[in-house]
């Protein structure tokens, strides 16, 4: 490769002088390209195209003249991001709350995204794989995965909230088991089909003021019984007796009075 052991032209015959000069000029125009660093005398800030790597690497001598500084790989645009656009293959970190800015049509104003002032630990927000529907908003699953979900528009008044339009609560399907669990965070209403004599355990995530209904359905056999956790309070202090017919449907309407007292009203045998 075109490299020179030094850049000093010594006194010599014309042919030798020309040969050495051509070697030095070739080294200069090729930026001392070679698979090993130039031998002999080196100079601060001298360039070297290291062809021992694939792709080659452009290096310059440091100011102390005791080592090489890697500048960039010798690829298109030295691998640098172009002002007109670029594709990044690794992570991008903006230090000290620097913004990502999206300018408007004439670049007179922008919308910026930035990190909060303090973050206790790193986390990643993963965007949804597809667009949502009209009037949906982004939500998180608590682990950083974002998705679209429907929401209600609430207008605040002096004493509370006013909702315009219908309000609907889903009916959560409870898993039939010897002890039936109900997480009130999952929904105000719930339904369960009894496959045997069961106990409805005290709910989890109980919030004072929540209300709803629990639909209790006999399976195709019927005659299933249901006991209740201590938090369920019924009129007269007596738990109800379920309808016994196959596929019979009963309903318990409830209001959470305290975290350990859920007032219940039993309505039997819907058909």
Domain boundaries, the chain: 14-77, 171-270
How many whole angstroms from its chain centre is CA 248? 45
Average pLDDT, the chain: 90
In this predicted structure, what is the pLDDT of residue 157?
60
In this predicted structure, what is the pLDDT of residue 84?
80
Tell me which H or E stretch contains 89: none
Report how far residue 172's alpha carbon sits from residue 192's, in angstroms, rounded to the nearest whole number: 9
In this predicted structure, what is the pLDDT of residue 183?
96
Q: How confident is the model at residue 155 (pLDDT cuts 50, 70, 90)?
A: low
Q: CB count, 10 Å around CB of 182?
A: 21
In this predicted structure, what is the pLDDT of residue 173?
97
The mean pLDDT of 131-152, rounded to a whole number, is: 88
Cβ-contact 250, 222 below 8 angstroms: no
Q: How confident is the model at residue 154 (pLDDT cuts 50, 70, 90)?
A: low
In this predicted structure, what is the pLDDT of residue 258?
97
Instruction: Please provide residue 172's backbone torsions phi and psi, each rounded to the nearest 5 degrees.
Output: -80, 130
Write out pLDDT tens, residues 94-140: 999 999 999 999 999 999 999 999 999 999 999 999 999 888 999 99
Q: How confident is the model at residue 156 (pLDDT cuts 50, 70, 90)?
A: low
> In this predicted structure, which of 136-150, 186-200, 237-251 has the lowest mean pLDDT?
136-150
Q: CB count, 10 Å around CB of 248?
A: 20
Res. 89: pLDDT tops 90: no
In this predicted structure, what is the pLDDT of residue 237?
95
């Amino acid at each position: 490769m075109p490299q020179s052991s030094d850049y000093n032209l010594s006194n010599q015959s014309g042919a030798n002088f020309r040969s050495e000069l051509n070697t030095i000029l070739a080294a200069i125009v090729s930026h001392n390209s070679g698979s090993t660093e130039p031998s002999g005398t080196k100079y601060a800030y001298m360039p070297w195209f290291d062809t021992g790597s694939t792709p080659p690497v452009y290096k310059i001598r440091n100011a102390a003249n005791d080592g090489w500084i890697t500048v960039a790989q010798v690829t298109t645009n030295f691998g640098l991001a172009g002002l007109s656009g670029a594709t990044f293959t690794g992570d991008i970190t903006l230090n000290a709350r620097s913004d990502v800015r999206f300018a408007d049509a004439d670049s007179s104003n922008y919308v910026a995204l930035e990190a909060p002032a303090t973050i206790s630990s790193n986390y990643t927000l993963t965007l949804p794989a597809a667009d949502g529907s009209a009037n949906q908003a982004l939500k998180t699953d608590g682990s950083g995965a974002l998705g679209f979900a429907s929401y209600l528009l609430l207008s605040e008044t002096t004493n509370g909230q006013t909702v315009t339009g219908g309000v609907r609560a889903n009916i959560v399907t409870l898993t039939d088991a010897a002890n039936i669990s109900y997480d009130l965070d999952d929904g105000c209403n719930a339904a369960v089909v009894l496959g045997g004599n069961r106990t409805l355990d005290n709910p989890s995530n109980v919030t004072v003021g929540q209300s709803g209904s629990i639909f209790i359905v006999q399976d195709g056999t019927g005659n299933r019984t249901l006991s209740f956790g201590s938090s369920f309070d019924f009129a007269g202090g007596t738990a109800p007796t379920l309808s016994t017919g196959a596929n019979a449907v009963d309903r318990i309407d409830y209001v959470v009075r305290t975290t350990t007292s859920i007032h219940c009203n039993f309505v039997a045998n819907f058909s």
